[in-house]
Amino acid sequence: MPIMHIPSTIRLLAAVCVLAAAGAASAGTTPDPAYLDELGKWRARANESLTRERGWLSIIMRDELVPGVNRIGSAPGNDVVLPKTMARAHLGTIVVDKDKARLTLAPGQKMRAVVKGDAGEEFTARDLVTGAEPVEWVTAGRLSLQIVKREDGKFVLRAADRESPRRKNFAGRLWYEPNTDYKLPARFVPHAVGATIPIANVRGEISYEKVAGSLEFALNGQKISLDALDDDGNLFIIFRDGTSGNGTYPPGRFLYVERPKDGVWSVDLNKAFNPPCAFSAFTTCPLPPPQNWLKTSVPVGERYIEKKF
């Protein structure tokens, strides 16, 4: 799950100010300006993953589809009821057949398919899911729809509103103050090719995910080993620590680690960030496996204040 122009002098100053203002006090080595600039850009991308037009803050509902015909629209008699301000009484039907889901719009209705972020030509009928891959969005006005096939084989319809108040009023993620004491050398220990580990999600479902290996490093006098999932050659880590529920998101945080071109591994815990479930009730997030529960605290990266959705 990836996160996930102004003059450079102004951009650097802004990054320093934002990082200082948004962070909570954290003792340690003072980062150099180049690192603050790079981290500021990374944090901006993390914010953008939430606030883009069809980002997590725009999701307003999620509904499970059933095999066969699913009627969608704003009228109460539909199988999936959409907000009246965003859809007509009968928008159309979604037919679920094995690995396929096809949207057929009602007469007079048209939508556009979003491909690589751009809305394409209008259509009246279209296959939205073929196989296990997530689908592109389809959109009309402020409404966007997406169908995703879950691990259990069921299909879920997501609806997004580009005018969502939560998206428009979002003040930004909350961060601890940067601390380069948590930017550490590491060692990567690969696992057997094709190895998997069980990963539970917030719904209690278990999936078996491809594990690339373990990332090992020393932190606070302890030897740490985190199982890392494969992310197109890079590493994706789900972990929790002593701050979970006491300053950071209770279930845990995410961390991406790029595979180094020179073979010298490192880990920057300042880039630990909250999963989508910290911001939306309409997401299904993986949880840290027990072996990734750290006894020590990681008071850097993204913070958390409980939100009411």
> Which residue segments constitute the domains of the chain, with CATH numbers given?
8-49+173-292 (no CATH), 58-161 (2.60.200.20)
CA-CA distance, 35 to 63, in Å (whole number)?
Answer: 43
- For residue 68, the number of C-alpha atoms closer than 13 Å in the C-beta half-sphere is 2
Q: What is the pLDDT of residue 306?
A: 80
The residues of the chain scoring below 50 in pLDDT are 1-25
Q: Tens digits of per-residue pLDDT, 128-164? A: 876 555 557 999 999 999 998 887 788 999 999 999 9
Q: How far is CA 48 from CA 1, 43, 183, 227, in A?
A: 14, 9, 24, 27
Please list, in sequence order, all residues whose beta carbon lies within 8 angstroms of the beta carbon of residue 118, skipping any fewer than 6 positions away: none
Q: Which pTM does this prediction carry?
A: 0.84
Are residues 125 and 103 in contact, defined by beta-carbon separation less than 8 angstroms?
yes
The percent of residues above 90 in pLDDT, for the chain, comes to 75
